[in-house]
Amino acid sequence: MSTEHELLAAVWAAPHDDTPRLVYADWLEKTGEPSNIARAEFIRVQCERERLGLDNETPEALPLKRREQQLWTANRAQWQAGLPADVRRSRFDCGFPIGSRGPLSPGRFAVLRDVELASAPAWSFIVTCTGKADDACLTTSPALGRAFSLVLRGDVHPGVLRALASSPFAAGLDRLQLPTLESGADALGKLLSSSAMPRLRYLGVAGPAVTADSLEAVVDGSLAASLTGLLVECSSLTPAALQRFIGRKRAPRLKLLMLHEDPSANDAVVEAMADAPWAAGVRELAVIIAPDVGDRAAAAIAQRLTGLTGLRLIGCNVGASGAARLARAPFLPQLRRLDLSFCPAAEDVTVVGRLKARLGRRMTAEAHAAVEGDAATTSLTPAPPPRRSRG
């Protein structure tokens, strides 16, 4: 029989695989100790919630969510007490803490040692690039193999994207967020059409390098099988190009779609998405700073996106008519967040009052202010943060 040390070593050796974690949970349960039995159940519950992804907010999954919170509340102090200081306040994923490092330079990331990552099996990294081809050294680092999340900042050289497209260490990535790319459309297309990231669920792309061909690569490449969350920001797409992509019959199985300050977003684009065959699976929709998205879009969302659990129309042109349609939407009882901040509807006391009466704290509608700070912040992470899916 394996020792606890050997079982934990297996978890660290395969940070993106649930199996060693579940084997460890079996071992914990067999000890018969109440604290170990609770930890075993916690691992199993978190693994199951992660398997569900954004669907873990559906009514069928709520018992798992409640049980996870009960176990965490009762045992949090004990579980955190024995952790190394650098992960003691980290959130847990499938029964283990997720480490966080950054911002790091590409050179520093490339030389991260195993001993520096020993306190958690999987990590979230932020790397600030310098615009040089040498930054591609980050894609050759074994530390990348421990990453479930990689956020690149600064000036990303196209060579970094090409190197990432062929990196053997990128296979475990669950989410990738890129900064504004002023150039490198071909390199971005190569990355998005590659098979280097078979587990990638959340992708954020921004800037003029985001073209119709880039998004077509998402649909036609291997990412179509795994991608469930997409953020498009300040792209060079035309409304017609975005509408064609979103309205395709063959599209990623998106559960989260975010369009942030993108000039291509308008009523017709949102209507095309609502009519798309894959739209029934969408759980989170965010359209931020899009003055051409208004009441028509709100009506289409209210009528057709019946599976929504989160909706943000921030800085859009949704008025009282659109808000009234949302107030009658069939998804309203399951909605855990509705944000109409900086829309004309936010200034209508009657409309806002009606929605808040039904949603309470789940409703946000700030008015009479510029869209800045938290309201305009984009992220691939819905609330609560989705967990990473493993095989």
62, 166: one domain:
no
Cα dist. 323→196, 205, 266, 372 in Å? 43, 29, 17, 22
pLDDT at position 374 = 40
Question: Rounded to an integer, what distance in angstroms lies between the CA atom of residue 297 and that of residue 139?
Answer: 41
pLDDT at position 249 = 58
Average pLDDT over residues 6-12: 95
**Which has more confidence, 50 or 15?**
15
200, 320: one domain:
yes
* Mean pLDDT (the chain, rounded): 87
169, 310: one domain:
yes
Boundary-marking domain end, from 67, 82, 97: 82
Q: Is 257 left (phi over 0), alpha (psi -120 to 50) or beta?
A: beta
193, 334: one domain:
yes
Q: Is residue 140 part of a domain?
A: no
**Which has more confidence, 327 or 215?**
327
68, 161: one domain:
no
Residue 373 banded pLDDT, cuts 50, 70, 90: very low
Average pLDDT over residues 189-204: 92
Q: Is residue 339 part of a domain?
A: yes
Range of the domain at 299: 149-376
Q: Is residue 126 part of a domain?
A: no
Helix or strand or coil: residue 305?
coil
For 212, the token pair is 């119709």
Helices (H) and strands (E) in the chain, counts: 13, 12
Average pLDDT over residues 262-281: 86
160, 273: one domain:
yes
Boundary-marking domain end, from 40, 60, 82: 82
Domain count, the chain: 2
CA neighbor of 126 nearest in space, from 178, 170, 202: 178
71, 182: one domain:
no
Boundary-marking domain end, from 82, 103, 119: 82
In the sheet with 202-206, reading across from the earlier edge strand, the strands are 92-93, 96-104, 122-130, 147-155, 175-180, 202-206, 229-233, 256-260, 284-294, 310-317, 337-339, 363-364
Strands 175-180 and 202-206: parallel
**Which has more confidence, 307 or 300?**
300
CATH code assigned at 238: 3.80.10.10
- Tell me which range, 125-129, 274-278, 344-348, is most confidently predicted by mean pLDDT: 125-129
* Residue pointed to by tokens 């990638």: 200
Q: Is residue 71 part of a domain?
A: yes
pLDDT at 390 over 50: no
Question: Rounded to an integer, what distance in angstroms lies between the CA atom of residue 229 and that of residue 227?
Answer: 6
pLDDT at position 354 = 86
166, 28: one domain:
no
* Residue pointed to by tokens 């190009």: 241
For 110, the token pair is 């490339």
CA neighbor of 256 nearest in space, from 122, 384, 90: 384
199, 72: one domain:
no
One-letter amino acid identity for 45? V
Phi, psi of 126 (to 5 degrees): -120, 125
290, 180: one domain:
yes
pLDDT at 381 over 60: no
pLDDT at position 372 = 38
CA neighbor of 232 nearest in space, from 201, 200, 265: 265
Q: Is 184 left (phi over 0), alpha (psi -120 to 50) or beta?
A: left
Helix or strand or coil: residue 93?
strand
Alpha helices in 194-348 (DSSP H): 212-220, 239-246, 267-275, 295-304, 320-327
Average pLDDT over residues 302-311: 92
Average pLDDT over residues 376-389: 42
pLDDT at position 375 = 39
76, 158: one domain:
no
Q: Is residue 121 part of a domain?
A: no
pLDDT at 236 over 90: no
Q: Is residue 37 part of a domain?
A: yes
74, 163: one domain:
no
Average pLDDT over residues 46-73: 81
Q: Rounded to two decimals, what is the model's pTM?
A: 0.86
Residue 38 banded pLDDT, cuts 50, 70, 90: very high
Residue 377 banded pLDDT, cuts 50, 70, 90: very low
For 235, the token pair is 């792209």
For 116, the token pair is 């520096």
pLDDT at 382 over 60: no
Residue 94 banded pLDDT, cuts 50, 70, 90: very high
Q: Is residue 284 part of a domain?
A: yes
Considering only 132-136, 169-173, 247-251, which range has the smallest mean pLDDT?
247-251
Question: Rounded to an integer, what distance in angstroms lies between the CA atom of residue 123 and that of residue 126?
Answer: 10
Q: Is residue 237 part of a domain?
A: yes
For 26-62, the DSSP string reads HHHHHT--HHHHHHHHHHHHHHHHHHHGGGGGSGGGH
Going by the DSSP 8-state scheme, the letter that residue 344 receives in this structure is G
